[in-house]
Amino acid sequence: MLLDRALYNRLVQHGLKVINATVAEESPFPHVLLQGIFPNDVFQHLLNFYPPTSCFIKANPKHHSNEYGGSTRQRMTLAEASLDTLPDTHHMVWATVRAAISSQSIRDALFSKLASGLCRRFGVSRDQLPQIPAFPRGQLYSETEGYRIAPHPDTREKIVTMQFAFPSDDSLEDVGTEFYTRSLNPLHFFREPRGFSISKTMPFLPNHAYAFSVLNDIGLKSWHGRSTIPPMNRVRNTLLHIWYAEPDETDQELAEYQRFLQTPVVLRKSA
């Protein structure tokens, strides 16, 4: 199995340190902005190992195509079937990242930071959050100018949405995900995002990530999206990592990852 135990432990410990040191924000809905979520050298490896577009498929062409019919959003799952198409070194790094950000300890730390939203949604106390069934899945995305996604709160199939940014510099800072609130200003129905105000934009900066608790009730909805990305002659590379309410066939892969990573290494004595 292509996993790096030392890297896994390093990623988990570093991620926990960053998450635990981050102050959660409540407006316009519970979320966290995580800076330096990976060790700097690992982040540089991930930039260098980001898969080529030949590994990606079009993501929902009906909604993510430009006026010429070209795709503005492509995706690649982090399941083993996709990782097998990468060189072994790249496969190992991405599989280890997948295992680390899917670990129970990272999940528990992140859910604790988002407790106000999760406790509201599930009607549980903070100490009951580790018992909420949640199944992590991740996909890599590449998005180009013209990409947009209208305000939406995410479906209730999702519990926590997390996204990692992979720009190589600060030049794309303004093209991150937008968080919204409803607006009754008539002028806001004639421009993007229609009927909403932008409360804040998550900075699309190197080694940054954000996460929020998915809320979709009468009193509070986790409205987010992205206004049309202007011409930028670049791509917006991200890892979208989501905890779902229901399992799928890839959960067995993650279970096998954890069994491998938690099995002690037995050193053979030399003859």
- Residues 255-269 pLDDT 10s: 999 999 988 765 555
Q: Is the pLDDT of residue 66 over 80?
A: no
> Residue 90: what residue type?
H
Residue 126 within any structural domain of the chain: yes
d(C-alpha 128, C-alpha 125), whole Å: 5
Which pLDDT value is given to residue 68? 44
Residue 269 within any structural domain of the chain: no
Residue 31 within any structural domain of the chain: yes
Closest CA to 29 of 177, 129, 152, 179: 179
In this prediction, residues 226-235 reach a mean pLDDT of: 91
Report the percentage of the chain scoring pLDDT > 90.
82
Whether the Cβ atoms of residue 221 and residue 152 lie closer than 8 Å to each other: no
Q: How confident is the model at residue 67 (pLDDT cuts 50, 70, 90)?
A: very low
Q: In which domain, by residue range, is 134 found?
A: 5-262
Q: Is the pLDDT of residue 242 over 70?
A: yes
**Greatest distance between any 2 Cα atoms in the chain:** 82
The total domain count for the chain is: 1
How confident is the model over 161-170, as pLDDT tens digits?
999 999 999 9
Q: How confident is the model at residue 45 (pLDDT cuts 50, 70, 90)?
A: very high
Residue 154 within any structural domain of the chain: yes
Residue 108 within any structural domain of the chain: yes
Which pLDDT value is given to residue 186? 83
Residue 268 within any structural domain of the chain: no
Residue 129 within any structural domain of the chain: yes
Q: How confident is the model at residue 53 (pLDDT cuts 50, 70, 90)?
A: confident
Q: How many CB atoms lie within 10 A of CB 155?
A: 10
d(C-alpha 38, C-alpha 40), whole Å: 6
How confident is the model over 187-199, as pLDDT tens digits?
788 888 989 999 9
| Joined tokens for residue 30 | 């519970």
Q: Is the pLDDT of residue 248 over 80?
A: yes
In this prediction, residues 1-17 reach a mean pLDDT of: 96
Q: How many CB atoms lie within 10 A of CB 55?
A: 17
In this prediction, residues 19-45 reach a mean pLDDT of: 98
Q: How confident is the model at residue 62 (pLDDT cuts 50, 70, 90)?
A: low
Q: Is the pLDDT of residue 152 over 60?
A: yes
Task: Assign residue 257 the CATH number of its domain.
Answer: 2.60.120.620
Residue 117 within any structural domain of the chain: yes
How confident is the model over 93-131, as pLDDT tens digits?
999 999 999 999 999 999 999 999 999 999 999 999 999
